[in-house]
């Protein structure tokens, strides 16, 4: 759907003629008098890398483009049944009103002062002292040793994920392509990167009826089917979940690790929301800790885990800070990894400094601790409150069900569409959830992302919303949402 919409936009732009503009007049004038032979573009949309064209990224797709247009229409004075657009489509904390942490900003500001820059030698893997702080953070978190030489700092977790995934590619095509197992629903980074690398997406479905948990039987079904089309190399797990907001139990993680060992898979653990745990009885368990505690036969398995400054309680998307801990790599592979990182040089030092504050925050008794703790606890407390608000409100609406938001920053409610709504969407030539989300935006100014952009079981319809707007704005958003949903149900009885 996203690709079709983008193709339509491209067609419209392509068909725009400059003949009535001054530019068009000048172009015709030059063409008539110039003797320089014409030259076509070396790179065109027809001859460019086809795998880049096949990439899709739902959280910044056509609905978001339309949201931007509506914002401009409001600014120009065009009448709307709402006063502003509420962007609940993307996990940018500060863009939705969350205040930056004072201590983090102060540290980064000092680090960017030329008179006070850190003078530690640094390499492409990142400033050594920061990598040591990351290792200390992981050691303290898990109660297990972490080696700074296993850490590399990256431009957000996304960069680290793509760096490791690139190593896993086979360099071959057809059924010899690398297969990467990804959860459905999934974060679009994974399908986009898989498409860019010409790998094969091996989809496994999370169990919505069991709180978006992961059944090993589904993993077995998925990999058995995939072996006809690719060579499965790795499994991606997002915990806490995006877009689904679940937190995996330790027993569930153990089952996944056993499955990975049996099928000789590299584990990619996306753990960027590890601080965002809200539901009673939920707790974060790192894959590294669980894997190590499972004993001989498991503790030497290859694993890469990822963390970011963009999420959690920090919300520092703009600094693009992140780290990857890659453990148990073959020494020769590790050499190639370092070479690959070195070829693109180190990530932003400002982002590295922001990452250092996340893993080495103020401690009790230090001058900055009280303010830091107050701001951190406020953010996490409000996120917990908003997680409950979203879960309860959506479950109070007819024909919507929503699993408890246990962690991360998102909810992924299911829309139980009437036959009339499905028929209307069919006539429009779009999935029913896309129709719903576009209508929601046009009538309320609320921008969410259709479930089809993340993947969902055939015959089900969802949308992803963040829980990030301020408590007051989220309250207003949910009121707007309820009114729209009631009218939608009336329209499509």
At 113, the pLDDT band (50, 70, 90 cuts) reads: low
Tens digits of residue pLDDT in 313-368 = 888 888 899 999 999 999 999 999 988 888 877 788 888 989 999 999 999 999 99
Report the predicted TM-score, pTM, of the whole model to 2 decimal places.
Answer: 0.84
CATH code reported for the domain at 118-359? 3.40.640.10
CA dist 493 → 47, 282, 451, 478 (Å): 48, 38, 22, 22
Tally the C-alpha atoms within 13 A of residue 429's C-alpha that lie toward its C-beta: 3
At 110, the pLDDT band (50, 70, 90 cuts) reads: confident
CATH code reported for the domain at 58-98+374-491? 3.90.1150.10
**Could you tell me the sign of the dihedral formed by the alpha carbons of 283, 288, 289, 295, in that order?**
positive
Domain with CATH 3.40.640.10 in the chain: 118-359
Token pair 């539901």 in the structure block, residue: 279
Q: Strands 410-411 and 86-87: what pairing?
A: unpaired
Count of helix runs (H) and strand runs (E) in the chain: 17, 16
Of 260 and 98, the one with more pLDDT: 260
Helix 62-75 × helix 432-444 angle, to 10° = 10
User: Would you state the pLDDT for residue 55?
Assistant: 65
Q: Where are the beta strands (DSSP E) in 421-471?
A: 446-447, 449-450, 461-466
Tens digits of residue pLDDT in 56-91 = 666 667 888 899 999 999 999 999 999 999 998 877
Domain with CATH 3.90.1150.10 in the chain: 58-98+374-491
Range scoring the smallest mean pLDDT among 115-124, 156-165, 291-300: 115-124
């Amino acid at each position: 759907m996203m690709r079709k919409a983008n193709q339509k936009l491209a067609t419209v732009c392509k068909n725009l003629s400059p003949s009535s503009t001054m530019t068009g007049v000048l172009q015709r004038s030059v063409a008539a008098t110039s003797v320089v032979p014409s030259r076509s573009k070396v790179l065109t949309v027809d001859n460019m890398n086809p795998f880049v064209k096949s990439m899709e990224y739902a959280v910044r797709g056509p609905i978001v483009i339309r949201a931007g247009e509506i914002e401009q229409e409001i600014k120009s004075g065009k009448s709307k049944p709402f006063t502003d657009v509420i962007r609940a489509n993307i996990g940018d904390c500060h863009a939705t009103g969350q205040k930056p942490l004072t201590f983090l900003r102060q540290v980064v500001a000092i680090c960017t002062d030329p008179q006070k820059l850190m003078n530690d030698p640094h390499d492409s893997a990142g400033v050594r002292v920061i990598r040591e702080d990351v290792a200390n953070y992981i050691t303290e978190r898990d109660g297990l040793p972490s080696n700074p030489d296993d850490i590399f700092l990256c431009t957000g977790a996304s960069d680290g994920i793509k760096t490791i995934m690139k190593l896993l590619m086979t360099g071959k095509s057809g059924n010899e392509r690398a297969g990467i197992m990804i959860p459905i629903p999934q974060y679009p980074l994974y399908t986009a990167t898989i498409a860019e690398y010409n790998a094969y997406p091996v989809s496994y479905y999370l169990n919505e009826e069991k709180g978006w948990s992961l059944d090993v039987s589904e993993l077995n079904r998925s990999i058995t089917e995939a072996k006809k089309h690719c060579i499965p190399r790795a499994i991606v797990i997002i915990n806490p979940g995006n877009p689904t907001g679940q937190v995996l139990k330790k027993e569930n993680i153990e089952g996944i690790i056993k499955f990975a060992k049996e099928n000789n898979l590299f584990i990619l653990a996306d753990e960027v929301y590890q601080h965002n745990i809200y539901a009673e009885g939920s707790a974060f368990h790192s894959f590294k800790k669980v894997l190590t505690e499972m004993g001989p036969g498991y503790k030497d398995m290859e694993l890469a885990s990822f963390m970011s400054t963009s999420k959690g309680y920090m919300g520092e998307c703009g600094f693009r800070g992140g780290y990857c801990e890659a453990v148990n790599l073959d020494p020769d592979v590790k050499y190639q990894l370092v070479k690959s990182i070195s070829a693109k040089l180190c990530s932003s030092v400002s982002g590295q400094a922001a990452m250092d504050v996340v893993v080495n925050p103020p401690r009790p008794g230090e001058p900055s601790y009280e303010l830091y703790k107050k701001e951190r606890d406020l953010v996490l407390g409000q996120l917990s409150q908003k997680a409950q608000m979203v879960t309860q409100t959506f479950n109070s609406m007819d024909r919507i069900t929503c699993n408890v938001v246990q962690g991360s920053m998102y909810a992924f409610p299911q829309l139980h569409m009437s036959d009339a709504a499905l028929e209307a969407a069919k006539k429009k030539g779009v999935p029913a959830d896309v129709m719903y989300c576009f209508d929601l935006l046009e009538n309320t100014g609320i921008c969410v992302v259709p479930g089809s952009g993340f993947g969902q079981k055939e015959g089900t319809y969802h949308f992803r919303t963040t829980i990030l707007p301020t408590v007051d704005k989220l309250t207003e958003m949910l009121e707007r949402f309820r009114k729209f949903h009631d009218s939608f149900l009336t329209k499509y009885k």
